[in-house]
């Protein structure tokens, strides 16, 4: 594509011949190369996953385990290999992170959700003279993003742009504490970036209540391409574009460009 259609190097006779033909028009516009949707399960996300926790992708559940097996994984590379076997998705591990990419390019694959489901803790220690307790670790709090959820005692709290206790929404650590602390049977306090949860009353009935954290990572960045035939040419104010292979679908990403050099 370098120097494509650049006229400076033409011999004067050829330039005069072309000039006698009048102007040569090509379509004016900016073609777009298609891009596949992606979502990233960050290394820090996967670092807080424990054996028994589940990553859900495209309706498939993959369980973290001590040894690999059917839909079981022990590390990020193993998880990537399982996801990569899906028909509509590819996955690759890099430095402990897993990047999930749609097998087909285009915006239609945006908005799919990969969910990391973590059993954070289970209340314990409650009895006739003691209150049940549990903790949400600081490392888990640090990974929460908008749309992620914390489920506890039949309530689900969703991270949002602003805290609304009455709507079970929290924006930050303090907001999540406020949501839990507003429950009838539980109190919550910060503990060096973690959240300590305690039953409001003594009793064994407050034991065995789970805290479930769901990290939701949504595919995004998909772009529909401009269909084209091999050899098709167009231009805009700054570049000339040529399609190097035929793909008449919105998955086309065969456009290449060269900067317009200027006048003769």
Query: Is there a single domain that holds both residue 142 and residue 177?
Result: yes
Instruction: Assess whether 167 and 244 both reside in one domain.
Output: no
Q: Is residue 161 part of a domain?
A: yes
The whole-number pLDDT of residue 26 equals 87
Question: Which pLDDT belongs to residue 250?
Answer: 97
- pLDDT at position 121: 98
The C-alpha atoms of residue 113 and residue 215 are separated, in whole angstroms, by: 10
Question: Among residues of the chain, what percentage have pLDDT more than 70?
Answer: 90
Identify whether 71 is part of a domain.
Answer: no
| Mean pLDDT for the stretch of residues 94-98 | 97
Residue-range definition of the domain harbouring residue 201 = 114-218
In a domain, 98, yes or no: no
Question: Taking a C-beta distance cutoff of 8 angstroms, is the pair 141, 193 a contact?
Answer: yes
Asked whether the predicted pLDDT for residue 107 surpasses 80, the reply is yes
In a domain, 130, yes or no: yes
Closest CA to 221 of 12, 1, 36: 36
* CA distances in angstroms from 228 to 87, 234, 255, listed in the order given: 26, 10, 8
Please name which of 220, 217, 227 lies closest in space to residue 102, comparing C-alpha atoms: 220
What per-residue confidence (pLDDT) applies to 15? 47
User: Do 131 and 159 share a domain, yes or no?
Assistant: yes
Same domain, 228 and 141: no
Lowest mean pLDDT among 23-32, 150-159, 206-215, 230-239: 23-32
- Asked if residue 254 belongs to a domain, the reply is yes
27 neighbors 226 (Cβ within 8 angstroms) = no
Residue among 125, 100, 97 nearest 113 (CA) = 100
Q: What is the dihedral of CA 176, 179, 183, 189, to 10 degrees?
A: 40
| Domain assignment of residue 184, yes or no | yes
Neighbours of 238 (CB within 10 A): 9
247 and 160, same domain (yes or no): no
Task: Name the phi and psi angles at 109, rounded to 5.
Answer: -95, 0
The span from the CA of 122 to the CA of 243, in Å, is: 58
154 shares a domain with 198: yes
Beta bridge partner(s), residue 170? 159
Residue 177 and residue 210 share a domain: yes
Half-sphere exposure (Cβ direction) of 80: Cα atoms closer than 13 Å: 20
Are 232 and 208 within one domain?
no
Q: Specify the number of domains making up the chain.
A: 2
Would you state the pLDDT for residue 1? 40
Rounded to 5 degrees, φ, ψ at 174 are -60, -40
Assess contact for 206 and 200: CB atoms under 8 A: no
**Closest listed residue to residue 238, CA positions, set 220, 257, 218:** 257
Q: Euclidean distance between the first and final Cα of the chain, in Å?
A: 19
Q: What is the pTM of this model?
A: 0.85
190 lies in the same domain as 236: no
In a domain, 177, yes or no: yes
66, two tokens: 């001590």
Whether 123 and 201 map to the same domain: the answer is yes
pLDDT digits (tens, 9 = 90+) for 125-147: 999 999 999 999 999 999 999 99
Look at residues 193, 49, 192, 211 and name the one whose alpha carbon lies nearest to residue 133.
Answer: 211
How confident is the model over 68-72, as a mean pLDDT? 95
194-199 and 210-218 strand pairing: unpaired
Kindly compute the dihedral angle of the four CA atoms of residues 15, 16, 19, 25, in this order, to the nearest 10 degrees. -20
Q: What is the mean pLDDT of residues 55-78?
A: 97
Say if residue 190's pLDDT is above 90: yes
Q: Where a domain ends, among 218, 235, 251?
A: 218
Same domain, 229 and 192: no
pLDDT tens digits, residue range 2-51? 433 443 344 454 345 445 545 667 899 999 999 999 999 999 999 999 99
66 pLDDT higher than 90: yes
What does the chain come to in residues? 264
Instruction: Please indicate, yes or no, if residue 151 is contained in any of the structural domains.
Output: yes
* 201 in the same domain as 234: no
């Amino acid at each position: 594509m370098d120097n494509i259609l650049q006229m400076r190097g033409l011999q004067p006779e050829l330039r005069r011949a072309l000039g006698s033909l009048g102007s040569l028009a090509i379509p004016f516009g900016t073609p777009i190369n298609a891009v596949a949707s992606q979502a990233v399960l960050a290394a820090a996300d996967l670092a807080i996953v424990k054996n028994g926790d589940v990553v859900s992708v495209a309706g498939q559940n993959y369980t973290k385990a001590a040894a690999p097996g059917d839909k079981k994984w022990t590390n990020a590379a193993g998880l990537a290999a399982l996801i990569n076997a899906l028909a509509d998705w590819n996955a690759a591990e890099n430095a402990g992170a897993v990047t999930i990419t749609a097998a087909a390019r285009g915006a239609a694959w945006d908005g799919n959700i990969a969910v990391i489901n973590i059993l954070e803790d289970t209340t314990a220690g409650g009895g006739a003279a003691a209150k049940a307790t549990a903790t949400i670790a600081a490392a888990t709090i640090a990974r929460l993003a908008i749309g992620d959820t914390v489920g506890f005692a039949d309530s689900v709290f969703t991270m949002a742009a602003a805290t609304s206790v009455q709507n079970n929404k929290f924006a930050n650590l303090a907001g999540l504490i406020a949501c839990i602390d507003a429950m009838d049977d539980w109190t919550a306090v910060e503990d060096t970036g973690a959240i300590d949860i305690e039953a409001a009353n003594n009793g064994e009935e407050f034991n065995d209540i789970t805290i479930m954290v769901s990290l939701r990572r949504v595919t995004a960045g998909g772009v529909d391409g401009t269909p084209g035939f091999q050899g098709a040419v167009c231009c805009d104010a700054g570049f000339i574009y040529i399609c190097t292979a035929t793909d008449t679908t919105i998955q086309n990403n065969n456009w290449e460009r060269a900067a317009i050099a200027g006048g003769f």
